[in-house]
Amino acid sequence: MTELKLLPPGIVVNTMKGDVAEHRAGAWLTWDGSLDLDCAIVGVPYDGASVVRAGSRQGPNAVRQAFMYYTTFSSRERQAMTGLRAADIGDVEVVLTDMKETFARISNTTRALVERKIVPIMLGGDHSTSFPNLRGVMEAMGPGKRLGIIHFDAHHDLRTAHLGAESSGVPFRRTLELEGTLLDGRNLVQIGLGEFCNAPEFDAYAEEKGIKVISALEVYERGIGPVIDDALDIAGRNVDAIYVSVDIDCIDQTQAPGTAAPNSFGMDSRDLQVALRRIAASPKFIGADIVEISPPFDPLNITGNTGAALVLNLLYGLAKGRGVLGR
């Protein structure tokens, strides 16, 4: 069993915990040190691969700060998710000047959690961290096991490099081309691609690999329900597990301004809310990351607030899929 090594959470929010009846999210996610968990939230404060605007190393704490505004109760379904054993268990100890070592530590973390049957929700950090997240998950799954991915983003992130260097725009190409990988492009679905945000080269690579690409405009035209029906079918076809990766820039910049590449015509966060609940309720859901929240560009923490709500929707979907919702 892989040893789990983490730092304490970069910030522990002690305000607004409320009384027991309120089911405050921040209080619920406080860790008691036990790994008897269904799901673990882990911060990855690394933005050493950012090439446009840095600052996402502060993303995990922005999300944690926003948990104080939320409870564990769904007004839509009139159910609470406190039957799910979930906790914020800390941060990966990153080295901003050493990508290789940082990535090894990230992979070690996701591998250690999945080996213990704990679903990791990794809070970035820039999008380069999705590659070590996925590498660790696949290592834990073991030989012969196949993974599908649902990826929300305004961009393909299928570059080979950015101006000759590793960047936050390469993680899915790296994963597809990882030696020995059992990720097939035909099980990768990219949702939310922005207008005038991408290049023909990467679209051609996606087509060559059989990747399903669904633009933000198509989501708007078709509706999120049919899109997620397709995504779950394609990503889940002949695979053992599904991982979901969310670059916050897939959301319209009015709802997520604090990111490296704000998106004027992005998805509605309500659609992403619905999508993440459904994906996390799937019996094949194995883990997730939410990345590219950059607080320096969002003094009101609108983006961190959006990210916290998305985390809670993943947790709610997981609780629903496992049948542990209650009042």
- Nearest Cα to Cα of residue 309 among 80, 20, 72: 72
Burial (CB < 10 A; 0-12, 13-18, 19+), residue 146, is middle
Cβ-contact 210, 104 below 8 angstroms: no
Confidence at residue 327, expressed as pLDDT on a 0 to 100 scale: 83
Cβ-contact 241, 285 below 8 angstroms: yes
For residue 247, what is the domain's CATH number?
Answer: 3.40.800.10
Write down the residue that tokens 């921040």 correspond to.
26
Could you tell me if residue 327 is inside a domain?
no
Write down the residue that tokens 């990720």 correspond to.
183
Distance CA 174, CA 157 (A): 10
Total domains in the chain come to: 1
Distance CA 295, CA 304 (A): 7
Could you tell me if residue 184 is inside a domain?
yes
Q: What residues in the chain have per-residue pLDDT under 70?
A: 13-20, 160-169
Three-state secondary-structure class, residue 165: strand
Cβ-contact 80, 327 below 8 angstroms: yes
Confidence at residue 19, expressed as pLDDT on a 0 to 100 scale: 66
Cβ-contact 307, 292 below 8 angstroms: no
Could you tell me if residue 8 is inside a domain?
no
Give the other-Cβ count within 10 Å of 179's Cβ: 4
Q: At what angle do helices 269-280 and 302-321 cross, to 10 degrees?
A: 30
Could you tell me if residue 3 is inside a domain?
no
Could you tell me if residue 126 is inside a domain?
yes
19 CB-near residues (< 8 Å, 6+ apart): none
Q: Which domain holds residue 263?
A: 20-321
Work out the end-to-end distance of the chain between its first and last CA atoms, rounded to an integer number of angstroms.
Answer: 36
Structure tokens at 154: 């305004």
Confidence at residue 20, expressed as pLDDT on a 0 to 100 scale: 65
Could you tell me if residue 6 is inside a domain?
no
Confidence at residue 165, expressed as pLDDT on a 0 to 100 scale: 54
Cβ-contact 153, 244 below 8 angstroms: no
Rg (CA), the chain: 18
Cβ-contact 267, 251 below 8 angstroms: yes
Distance CA 151, CA 131 (A): 12
Alpha helices by DSSP H, listed for the chain, are 25-28, 59-66, 99-115, 130-141, 171-176, 200-209, 216-222, 224-235, 269-280, 302-321
Three-state secondary-structure class, residue 37: coil
Count of all residues that appear for the chain in the document: 327
The one-character DSSP state at 197 is S
